[in-house]
Chain A
Amino acid sequence: MAKGSVSIHVERCKACGFCVEFCPTKVLALSSAFNSKGYHPPQMVAPEKCSGCDLCGMYCPDFAIFGYRLNAADSANAPDKEATDAR
């Protein structure tokens, strides 16, 4: 069960890949989709592994991603994809 989740601001991303590379549990991967500037923003490929440590948030040079911990009630219904793209 996922302990955390990430929130991605797709339009701010420049696809440097820092979050993907340094995620301790390898939750993220760059998606094949484009944002309006033509970059490939990251997406969660293994959301169940996310611990919500927010290391992706600390590495992000464009303030486009951050991790947060889910409380026990939230982790029962794991975050859907639309929710992670909200911010």
Chain B
Amino acid sequence: MSTIPINPVLPFLRTDRMPTIWCPGCGIGTTVNCFARALLDSGVDLKHLAIVSGIGCTGRVAGYVKLDSFHTTHGRAIPFATGLKLANPKLNVVVYSGDGDLSAIGGNHLIHAARRNIDIKVICVNNLIYAMTGGQTAPTTPGHVITSTHPYGTFDPNFNLPHLVEAAGAVYVARWTTFHVRQIARSMAEVFKKPGFCFIEILSPCPTLYQRRNKMGDGLDTMKFYKEHSKIKNGVSTSEVGLTRNGDIIVGKFVDRDRSDYLTMAHDQFVEALGDRYVDECAAECCEEGI
């Protein structure tokens, strides 16, 4: 009997903090699993990788990965990541956070980071609700859903996140559900090679607060729902991918385009304005030292 290999994702995890706080049936752990596999497949230099999370269930990811990680204040994961990237342009910066943290509390930061095309990779785990605070309506909650703040059902229109970030200027926009594990891992590996603002939305079950209150079953039932109702449409216009309570979920890679990123634009502008007087200090000094 040969020895059993160790779990390939274990080197990326702080196992002393396990088990995670995530509920049984929650999909956030699955996304972390895919992220670890994407790191394995893409061969990213872990010394030049930083994970930034905000607050919320998904915000806990920064604490569970054995990488350089930072758990920031609520909604401010993107500003922190922006600073990290500008101070050390060689760093691969990944923002790993939830829909409430990124699109509600940090909504302004999201659109402006996309507009500036800052070279950060945003992974947004969307469970359609504010999960950690008790299931209040989030900007991503679809209509006719019972939440703790809308006991008779939500009626306000929800955000279509891929459409929002594409309009703001993101260069890579994809959406998957936690059912599409291989596609998630492939998308995550792709964005490491893509310069600019990349956005991956991953729909995840919230069995405790979203599915239970709406009588949609548990996490496994939601995964089956994703399996049956997901339609892969790569390259489809993001204006058509809005989410509804029981309707089809359009998934796929929607946008993959090229635009100059923020640091390139800044560099070009300084060269144009200052000519020979401009010295790119960061490229000359900071990056040689690494992190």
Residues of A whose CB lies within 8 Å of any CB of B are 5, 7, 9, 11-12, 14-18, 21-22, 37, 39, 55, 57-63, 66, 68, 70-71, 73-74, 77, 79-80, 83-84, 86-87
B43 contacts A by Cβ under 8 Å: no
A58 and B37 within 8 A (CB)? yes
**Residues of chain B within 8 A of A11, CB atoms compared:** 19
B181 near A86 with CB under 8 A, answer: no
| A61 pairs with B22, CB closer than 8 A | yes
B5 touches A62 (CB 8 A): no
Give residues 160-191 of B contacting A (CB, 8 Å).
Answer: 179, 181-182, 185
Tell me if B267 counts as interface (CB < 8 A to partner A). Answer: no
**Chain B, residue nearest A87 (CB):** B4
| B237 in the interface (beta carbon within 8 A) | no
B200 to chain A, nearest CB (A): 16
Q: Tell whether, in the assembled complex, residue B1 and residue A63 are in contact, meaning their CB atoms are under 8 Å apart.
A: no
Most buried by A among B7, B37, B179: B7
Is A58 in contact with B185, judged by CB distance below 8 angstroms? yes
A-B contact pairs, 9 of them (CB 8 A): A12-B18, A12-B19, A18-B220, A37-B19, A57-B7, A61-B28, A66-B7, A71-B2, A86-B4
Please pick, from A5, A15, A39, A58, the residue contacting B34 in the complex, using a CB distance under 8 A.
A58
Chain A residues contacting B33 (CB-CB under 8 Å) are: 57-61, 63
In angstroms, Cα B1 to Cα A71, docked, is: 11
CB-CB under 8 A from B22, the residues of chain A are: 61-62
Q: Report chain A residues within 8 Å CB of B10.
A: 63
Residue contact A66 to B8, C-beta cutoff 8 Å: yes
How many whole Å from B203's CB to the nearest CB in chain A? 14
Tell me the residues in window 2-50 of chain B with beta carbons closer than 8 Å to chain A beta carbons: 2, 4-10, 13, 15, 18-20, 22-30, 32-34, 37
Residues of B within 8 A of A74 (CB): 1-2
**Distance between B15 CB and nearest chain A CB, rounded to angstroms:** 8
Whether B249 is near chain A, meaning CB under 8 Å from some CB there, is: no
> Given the complex of chains A and B, what is the CA–CA distance between A58 and B27 in angstroms?
11
Nearest-CB distance from A25 to chain B (Å)?
Answer: 17
Would you list which residues of chain B between 177 and 219 have a CB under 8 Å from chain A?
179, 181-182, 185, 218-219
Does B245 reach chain A (CB closer than 8 Å)? no
Q: Is B28 in contact with A63, judged by CB distance below 8 angstroms?
A: no
Q: Are A61 and B27 in contact (CB under 8 A)?
A: yes
Closest chain-A Cβ to B280's Cβ sits at a distance in Å of 42
Taking A7-B4, A80-B1 as known contacts, 12 extra A-B pairs with beta carbons closer than 8 A to each other, sorted by chain A number, are A16-B219, A57-B9, A58-B181, A60-B33, A61-B20, A61-B33, A63-B9, A68-B5, A79-B4, A86-B4, A87-B6, A87-B7
Q: Provide the bound-state CA to CA distance between A11 and B15, in Å.
A: 12
